[in-house]
Amino acid sequence: MSMGICDAKSAKYIGLFVVGAGIGAGLALLFAPRTGKDTRRYLARRAEEGKEYVSNTSRDLLRQAEDAVDRGKGWASKLAH
């Protein structure tokens, strides 16, 4: 599997996560028997979790891209010699 396919799949999963988090937050507002203060805390916590997930995933994707570039440079160097 090429890196382009992996990156596209990862981006798809990140997008799905964000959409799912938004839907979950909306449903929580409609159906959760919480006070406004509790609901705001819940939403803030979920937003922070989403932010951490996106940050961690983007950091992992960056490492994978850097590794792929390094491998490509190695292959190019071997072909040149």
pLDDT digits (tens, 9 = 90+) for 4-16: 556 767 778 888 8
Torsion on CA atoms 43, 57, 2, 76, rounded to nearest 10: 150
pTM of the model: 0.49
What domain range is 60 assigned to? Answer: 3-80
- What are the backbone dihedrals phi and psi of residue 2, each rounded to the nearest 5 degrees, phi first? -80, 160
pLDDT digits (tens, 9 = 90+) for 55-73: 999 999 999 999 999 999 9
Q: Give the total number of structural domains in the chain.
A: 1
CA distance 58 to 56: 6
